[in-house]
Structure 1
Amino acid sequence: MKRFNSILCVVDPEESSDTAIIQAVRIANDHQADITFASVVRPARSLRGFHRSKEEYDRDFDALAEKKRPAIENRVAAIAPSMKANVEIYSGIGFIQIIKSVLNKQHDLVIKCAEDTDWVDRLFGSEDMHLLRKCPCPVLMLKPDQRDSFRNILATVDVGDDSSELDDGRVQERLNKEVLAYSVALCIPELTEIYVGSAWEAYAEDFYRYGVFSQLPEDKVDLYVAQVRRECSDNLEILVREMGDMLGKDAVQYLQPRTYLVKGKPSKEIPLMAEKYGIDLIVMGTVGRIGVPGLIIGNTAESILEQVKCSVLAIKPEGFETPVV
């Protein structure tokens, strides 16, 4: 089973970070993982004019940053009295410093509360999206009130054939298995319901059905669409069966994952699925261009992240390179 060893929990003592601390402590206990609590202080240019020298500014800024340390230690102590908090204070742009810490300290999970944005519009703010796009390790971005254990987890997979044709290494296939492995890692300790969901489309169906230049009879189009659906359904069954081989039959029988295959665009159907089944955590892969820094998240994943109103665990594919150095 997939295990976490080193968790980086991002906190801000000036805002409520209790959700992130609670979830980090819970997951660390489940996986016997280490936790580092990190906070980032962003330099303010407006303060420089009030200081006579750079040395004076740096001294005051360092003192301001270090005030965060006891505040974080106190919050951790209130939530987990037996834990001695390992606290790191960074200076700079938030998501960049967090990613640099991941690279330097080899953290394998980042946990953070989503920014306080307009909930009617979208859950994740700009800093969150940068982190979700560019962090090389999995990022658990939490809905601010998600303090209890997750009740319903949706593992989103892509079982169509189109994605596998785009890469020789079958990145999507491996990413699907990673999504399932991470979902199970979070499900088993907490008796969580797991849903395995996928959306499918028959390529160019609208052209064949309604296109002016299409000569394909309606019954042939129906056969084509039915064949695509059958292939996607078979692929989903195979993936869940391989999940049993990978994680153990006992684990899969214990979890009894429910599979859902819906027709439509994933960017539309996955958020609807999450709402329909009361999902409080989506586990998803973010596929873009592999091995090319900066081209790091697919349009579908981006669209889903902008729509969902629940917590998300975002996983990068093997071969991903962060543009942050």
Structure 2
Amino acid sequence: MKLFNNLLYVFEQSTAQDTAIARAVSLAQNNQARLTIIDVIPEQKAKIGMPPGGPVSNDLTAAMIAQRRQMLKSLIAPYTTQLDFGIEILVGIKFLEVIRAVQRNDYDLVIKPAENPDWVERLFGSDDMHLLRKCPCPIWLMKPHEKSNYERIVAAVDFDPDETESDEQALNQLILGMSSSLALSDFAQLHLVHVWDVPEAGFASLWADNPKAAEMNMIEAVRLQHKAGMDTLIRMLSEQISADAYKYLTPRVHLLKGSAQKVIPALVKELKVDLVVMGTVARTGIPGFIIGNTAEAILDQLQCSVLAVKPPGFVSPVPRES
């Protein structure tokens, strides 16, 4: 399944690059897509004795750009006979320049090694989180020393069975399409995960004569609603990739009760998952809620690679360049 036409790889100097760039090249080849690799250097501000924007600071910026360009050429050297690369060196704040590059050139996927800062336990650093929140296209953050082929992929889907929002369904279709395509190309196990809960069931004693039976009935009724929603998504996936491909994949379905921010990281750890494909946009319409609290809590706990997807029509809060 061809998913991408125009890929952007973001160089991350703080961590190993070899396996991440190899996977980006493989993805570009499989999709017959263009691959551009970029690096972002900070703006060189005038120091003591250096005039702002003067020849010294300009020369320093030019020297850094030349050095980084040579570094990128060395990184892609093993693959230049297989693929034509674009190379771009930008100046500014990394996440802002990456988002502006996406807006300017219509990239449909950003690939980046996770920052993996060594002073905290979480895998994703500041630039990673800004991109997860604000990048208008999907972003694939890869852990250091990425596997050449994934063994287990989780597609985490979310929906409200009482609502049938087209945006929500479209987001789930993107998650399922990307995760199934990667699972097929890597011969990986695909796990479909949906977490549900009934917090109000605990208050059955306030109104029911038989609280225990009322609570059980309420929980079962909600479970069946979520199961029906999951069955609908499974049918959509089968139609999306063909019945034969679905039969070959035979995804494992996990319909789990509890809190998503606890259940999903625990399942990922238990299954030793290599990649989680998930949505990152909150279901609220409140301005500023670019990423849901639940999604952010899940991301903070993951130690595997993540492919984060936003619904069609998502608009980045980073304004386009005029």
- Secondary structure in structure 1 of the residue aligned to 2:184: helix
Q: What is the match of residue 275 of structure 2?
A: 281
* Residue aligned with 1:39, SS: strand
Q: Which secondary structure does the structure 2 equivalent of 1:149 belong to?
A: coil
**What is the CA–CA distance in structure 2 between the aligned matches of 1:287 and 1:81, rounded to whole Å?**
39
Residue 151 of structure 1: how far off its partner (Å)? 1.4
CA distance in 2, matches of 1:319, 1:140: 19
Name the structure 2 match of 1:6. Answer: 6
Shift in Å, 1:14: 6.7
TM-score normalised by structure 1 residue count: 0.90
Q: Which runs of 5+ in 1 are unaligned?
A: none
Q: State whether structure 2 residue 204 is matched by structure 1 residue 196.
A: no
For 2:22 and 2:107, the matched residues in 1 are separated by: 18
Report deviation, 1:118: 4.0
**1:102-117 alignment runs, 5 A limit:** 102-117=102-117
Q: Per-residue CA shift, 1:7-31, capped at 9, x if unaligned? A: 1000145753223211211111111
- Counterparts of 2:79 and 2:137 in 1: how far apart (Å)? 26
1:49 is the counterpart of 2:48 = yes
Q: Structure 1 residues 208, 88: CA separation in 2 closer, same or farther (over 3 Å shift)? A: same
Distance in 2, matches of 1:225 and 1:24, equals 44
Picking from 295, 303, 306, the partner of 1:301 is 295
**Partner deviation per Cα, 1:64-100 (whole Å, 9 max, x = no partner):** 1221111111111135554343210000000000000
Could you tell me how far apart the structure 1 residues matched to 2:317 and 2:309 are? 16
The aligned amino acid for 1:75 is L
Please give the secondary structure, in 2, of the residue aligned with 1:66.
helix
2:247 pairs with 1:245? no
Partner of 2:16: 16
Counterpart AA for 1:195: H
Could you tell me which runs of 5 or more consecutive residues in structure 2 were left unpaired when the two chains were aligned. none
Matched, 1:27 2:3: no
Q: How does 1:26-175 map to 2 (within 5 A)?
A: 26-45=26-45, 47-56=46-55, 57-78=57-78, 81-118=81-118, 121-161=121-161, 164=163, 169-175=165-171
Q: Is the 8 A contact 2:14 2:115 kept in 1?
A: no
Take 2:268 and 2:14, find their aligned partners in 1: how far apart are those partners?
Answer: 31
Say if 2:154 and 2:190, in contact at 8 Å, map to a contact too.
Answer: yes
Q: Judge conservation of contact 2:154–2:193 (CA < 8 Å) in 1.
A: yes
Equivalents in 1 of 2:286, 2:222: separation in Å? 31
After superposition, the CA RMSD in angstroms is 2.1
Q: Structure 2 matches for 1:214-233, cutoff 5 A? A: 214-215=207-208, 217-233=211-227
Give the CA deviation at 1:238: 1.9
Q: What TM-score do the two structures reach when normalised by structure 2?
A: 0.91
User: Residue type matched to 1:19 in 2?
Assistant: T
Cα 1:289/1:219, change in 2 over 3 Å: closer
Residue 196 of structure 1 deviates from its aligned partner by 0.4
Indicate the larger mover: 289-298 or 172-181: 289-298
Matches within 5 A, 1:258-273: 258-273=252-267
Cα pair distance change 1:293/1:39, threshold 3 Å: farther
**Aligned-partner residue type, residue 52 of structure 1:** P
Q: Deviations over 1:15-69 (max 9, x none)?
A: 5322321121111111111100000001243x53342352311232122122111
Q: Secondary structure at the match of 1:48?
A: coil
Q: CA 1:15/1:51 → structure 2, altered by over 3 Å: closer, same or farther? A: farther
Contact 1:5–1:108 (Cα < 8 Å) also in 2: yes
Q: Is the 8 A contact 1:11 1:38 kept in 2?
A: yes
